[in-house]
Structure 1
C-alpha cells in the first residue's frame, strides 16, 4: 500500500471540505437566526391580530340584544386560515369565533399572553376589566414550514456552489503549484549522470530554498566526481609508469646476467610486478566504478565500443571470441568508459575461467540485452552468489585478482542495470553466463 501523498490533492481535498463545511455551518447559523427572527415576526402578528380584532368583537357582542350567544364569523370565500381566534368570557363561554376555529385547541379557560400547546402557538388579550377575552392561535407546523422553506432557500445554492468551488479551488491550486510541479519533473526525468543545475523561474518563496540547496548539492557532487575521475586518471598514469620502468629494467637485467639463479629470481619478480600491475589496474577500475560515474550526460552508441574491446582480446585469444551485435546502433546513457571496463572484465572472466578450446559467445541485442557465455565447469549456487563480492574466485589455481565481477557489479549498481549470473548457462548443460539489461535510449 502506497503511503505517498500529493500536495495538490491534499490541498484541494481539504480546502474543498473546509469551504463546504463553513458554508454548511453558515446555513445552519442563518437558519437558527432566521427561525428566531421569524418567531418574533409571527408572535408580533398574533399580538397585532388580537389587538385589532378585540375592539370589533367587543362592540359586536355589546350591541347584541338579549343573551349574547355564540356567533361564527362567516368567511367571504374558502381559504386556508393560518390564524384562528375565538372570544370568550371569563368563565370560558364562547361568544365569537372565526369560521375555521377549533375550540379543542384552546384551554378550558381563557388567559392572557403567549402560551404553547403541542400543535399551536396562542396569544390571549382581555378587555372590559378582564370580562372578555380573545385568543388567537397559529399552527406550529406553519412556522416550521416557513423556517424549513427559508433554510432550503439558503441551502439550495450550495448544490451549485460546491462543485463550482471544487473546480475553482483545484484550478487555483494547480495554477499556483505549476512551477513546483515543473521543478519536480525537471528533477525526476533527469538521469543519474545529469548533474546540471535545476532552473525553474519564479518559484514560490517556500520552494526557492529547496531548488538552491539541490543545485548546491549537484555542484558539490559534480566536483567530487570530476575530482575522482582526475584522481583515477592521474593515479593510473603514476602507477603504470614506475611499474613499466621496473619491468623494463628487470627484463634488461635478465638479458645481461649469466647467473641462472639471478635469472630465476628476476623471473619471479617480473611475474610479481605483472600481477601488481594487473591488480593496480583492477583497483583503479573498481575505484572508478564506485565513484558514481557510470552514467553520462550524453547518449553513446555501444556497438563500436563492444567491437573495439572484443578485437583487443581477439588478438590475445585468437578464434575464441564469437561476437554477435546488431547492425543498427544501440544507444544508451551508460558511460562509454564504464561500458568498456564492464565488457573487458566480463570477457577476461569468461576467457580465464572457461574451457580453453571452447569459444566465448558475446551478444548484444537491439533492446540492450548483453550476454557473455563460456563453456566450463558448473558453479554451485552457493558459490555463484559470492562472485559479486571482492577477491572471490571460482578456482584459486587460475590467475586473476578476484574483483572482476565486483567491478561489473559496482558499475551496474551505479547505472541501475540488472546483472544476472547463471551456471549452467541458458541452453547449455555447463558453463557460465553473465546477462545485463542495459537501458536503451530511442
Structure 2
C-alpha cells in the first residue's frame, strides 16, 4: 500500500509539457507551453551570448522542440535539459536579438488546458517625427486624412467563438476588417489602419492604446457572437453605456497625475497639469462629444446592416466593453452575427458576405464623416468648398421694405461686395422683385 501511494503521488506531482506553439506579432513573439496541469516556473536571462532560461518545477518535456518554427521569432534555438536529478525541466532559448521577456500562467478555458505563456518583446525604435507643413484650411496639400482604426477581435492564442466546422471568430473578423480597410483606402480623405493584421493576440487595453497612437478619429471593433444555444442569431451594433462611461471617467481622473494619456485626438490635451475641476470638465466634454458621434455612426451602420442581415435587436445596444472606453475617440463594436448558428456561420465564412458586412460599415462611416468632418481635414475642405461654391451662385429676390444694407447684413456679406457683384456703382436703388447675386461671405 505504501509503494502504491508513493507512485500515485509522484504521478500527480509531475506536469507534462505536451506542446509548444509560437505566435508572431509586429512588436513581440509569444511562446505558449501546453501543460497537463499547473506548474511553478522561474524566468531569468543570461548574457554573452544572450539567452533566456525558463525553469519549470516538477515538469517533464513530451514535445519535440526541434519541430517548433522559430524562423520569424527572436529565438534562434530552443533546447531543454533536466535538473535536480530529473525532477525539474529547464528550457533555454538562444536569442537572435535583444528582447524583454514576460511570463505568466493561464488557467484552463473552453479551448485549452493549463498554459505557460512567454512573451518576448522586441526593442522598437521610436519614430523620428517628420517635419510637415502647417495645416491650412486654404491649402488642401497640408490637410490630413481622417484616420479610422479597425480592430479585428481576438487573435492568436484567443480564437474567440468557434462555430460549425471549426470556423473561428478571429479568422472571420480579420477577413471583414481587411475588406473594410480596402474600401476606406480607396476613398479619398480616409486613412484606415488595422490594430492587428495577422493571427496574434492583443490585449483589450492595448487595442485602444494603439488607436490613440494612430491619432484615430474613430475606432470600430469587429466581432462575431457565440452562444450555447445554437438557435441564437442576429447582428448587433454596440456603443458605450452611461455606466461604462462613468467608470472610465473615474479611472482617467484617478490616474491623471502619472498618466501620459491625452484627450482630444489631434491637437490633444493632457490632464496631467490640470486641477481636478478643470480635468473633469475637459474629460466630460470630450467623452460627451465622443459618445454622441459614436451613437450617430452606430445608428447608421445598424440601419445598413438591417437591409440584408437579421438584427439581434431593433436598436443600437449599450454595454461597458473595454474597447469602447476611449474618452476622446468615437468607438463602436459590431457583432456581425452568431458564428455558433449554422446558417450565420456559413454566411460569415463566405468572402462575399464578409465584403457585404464591410460595405455596410464603410457606408455608415463615410456618411458620418462626409456630413461632419473634423477640422483641417481634406473632407472638411471639400465640404466648405462645395458650400462656398453654392454661396457664390446664390441669389436673393428683393421684397418690400428691403434695403441693400439689410440684404448684405442678412446674408453675411459686405455692402461693398454686394454692390460690386451686382454692378451697383453709385446708388443703392433696388426694386421689388429684382434678383440680386449674393457673393461668398
TM (normalized to structure 1)? 0.23
Query: Which has the larger helix fraction?
Result: 1
Whichever of the two has the greater Rg, that structure is: 1
